[in-house]
Amino acid sequence: MAKLKLKGKELRAAGFPEAPVISIAMQVMEKHYKHHTVEDAIDLLKQVLADPTAFATHEFLAPVAYQLIPGPEPDREVVSLKATGVPYNVFGGQYIEAGATSQMNLAVRLPISVAGALMPDAHAGYGLPIGGVLATENAVIPYGVGVDIGCRMCLSIFDIDPKELTRREHFFTRELNEATLFGSGKHFDELVDHPVLNRSEFNEVPLLKGLQGKAARQLGSSGSGNHFVEFGIVEVKERDAQLDVAPGTYLGLLSHSGSRALGANVANHYTQVAKEKRLLPSEAGHLAWLSMEEQEGIEYWMAMNLAGDYASACHHVIHEKIARQLGRQPMKMVENHHNFAWKELYDGREVVVHRKGATPAGKDVLGIIPGSMTAPGFIVKGKGELASIHSASHGAGRQMSRTAALNSISKSALHDMLTKHGVKLLGGGLDEAPHAYKDIHAVMKAQQHLVDTIGAFYPKIVKMDGTAPKPWMKKGGTVDGE
């Protein structure tokens, strides 16, 4: 009989809250109930979930029950959730796991929620699901933005024959290896001067004062997880007024990364502040918010915007380094955040729109939606669809957690896929293999009334981290779990 193998998404779909109880439950079941079927194991765990006190002294299940038994509540009033959440629209629901939908169902019950939407690449995260969009009234949710604040895409289009990627492969490979650093905690010894490092927020927000030095050392680095810098082929079939690039085939440089340690520290600090200020039911704890009028909310908003600009600066440093080596300035640069919050008008009222793993898609707004290391990405133009709160997906989205990918995808399968698509991979692990992602073509079809596709990018030389993911990364997402 095959040994039991559980997946985190199966436990989340069964109603289990976020880590650490999920990882503990998986370990207990796979050790002590290894000959159970998945269905029987889930049924048993549902019994523990329904009445954890009944299993508090169980020989094997007590560690799981302990995580589920509520501790004593602090001497504060718990903020009540609405019995019924505000309506929200789902795009490509057939591609979205139950855990992401459950998280969205919770988010729209917050008393501050105004509207929501779920993108076709959605999967479970912390607080809001990745691919979740939430409009709130006069409040910002740090984990509604995500840990990797300002994570973004940046595409430079060069008037260079993309056949050069084959003719001079060694040159382009060297430039990717030298232009940036990958890996959690990595930093440069030689610093780059940039105006973002001299921003007044570093002196005005107490938390930021201690982060300026590290931000300087990490400026232009790329982190780990699903972050990348890659050369590829850009195809533009028709001239578009916003893109303003003639039809043709070009060389493209595409990067994906965020605000590094600066953003992670801001997210974690202000999430704790929000949790202390607003006591929510335990299942909604990661959705704690800050009012836009209180000091902490003002500080977070300032820090978030700085982190977003810092993320943009990291991309620009990389692209400028490579442009100098190419001896050519880009014809066009397209970029967009996908972990951020904006003040926008929704149905005539000002709201705070959180896009966690979602691309802004306002009327005629340009963006890039990537596929995987072998699948194409797309240059898109937003249609300004109110039903999605002017948003679209931020990529194909994971269909496997990192753990599942590491356990089920072989090196030979990855090699065969790379060979089939003519892609050279520098670094990159099995947890980021194309097999771990949804079909980007299906995702794009599910949102064809949200964006117009006006160009495509085909990866050819891809640089990623390639080191083994940390334990806290293995359920999916980027270096910061989002």
Q: Mean pLDDT of all residues in the chain?
A: 91
- Assign 477 a pLDDT band (cuts: 50, 70, 90): very low
Mean pLDDT of all residues in 407-430: 94
- Identify whether 74 is preceded by a cis peptide bond (ω within 30 of 0): no
Listed in sequence order, the residues at least 6 apart from 126 whose beta carbon sits closer than 8 Å to its beta carbon are: 18, 143, 146, 147, 286, 481, 482
The answer to whether residue 97 is domain-embedded is: no
Residues 48-65 have pLDDT tens digits of: 888 888 888 788 898 888
Residues 91-105 have pLDDT tens digits of: 999 999 899 999 999
Range of the domain at 47: 8-68
pLDDT of residue 126: 83
Mean pLDDT of all residues in 76-102: 92
Residues 246-304 have pLDDT tens digits of: 999 999 999 999 999 999 999 999 999 999 999 999 889 999 999 999 999 999 999 99
Find out whether 447 and 91 touch, Cβ atoms under 8 Å: yes
The answer to whether residue 307 is domain-embedded is: yes
Distance CA 223, CA 227 (A): 7
Same-domain pairing of 29 and 161 = no
Mean pLDDT of all residues in 73-82: 76
Last residue of a domain, one of 46, 68, 90: 68
Mean pLDDT of all residues in 432-439: 94
Q: What is the DSSP track for 42-98?
A: HHHHHHHHH-GGGGTT-TTTHHHHHHHS--PPPSSPPPPPPSSPPPEEESSGGGS-H
The answer to whether residue 123 is domain-embedded is: no
Residues 338-383 have pLDDT tens digits of: 999 999 999 999 999 999 999 999 999 999 999 999 999 999 999 9
- Assign 1 a pLDDT band (cuts: 50, 70, 90): low
- Assign 184 a pLDDT band (cuts: 50, 70, 90): confident
What domain count does the chain have? 2
Q: Angle, to 10 degrees, between the axis of helix 295-326 and the axis of helix 169-179?
A: 150
Same-domain pairing of 250 and 384 = yes
What's the CATH number where 466 sits?
3.90.1860.10
In sign, the C-alpha dihedral spanning 460, 463, 464, 465 is positive
DSSP letter assigned to residue 148: S
Same-domain pairing of 165 and 44 = no
In sign, the C-alpha dihedral spanning 286, 292, 294, 296 is positive
Same-domain pairing of 362 and 227 = yes
Last residue of a domain, one of 47, 68, 89: 68
Tokens describing residue 117:
């939407």
| Nearest residue to 377 via CA among 222, 479, 220, 256 | 256
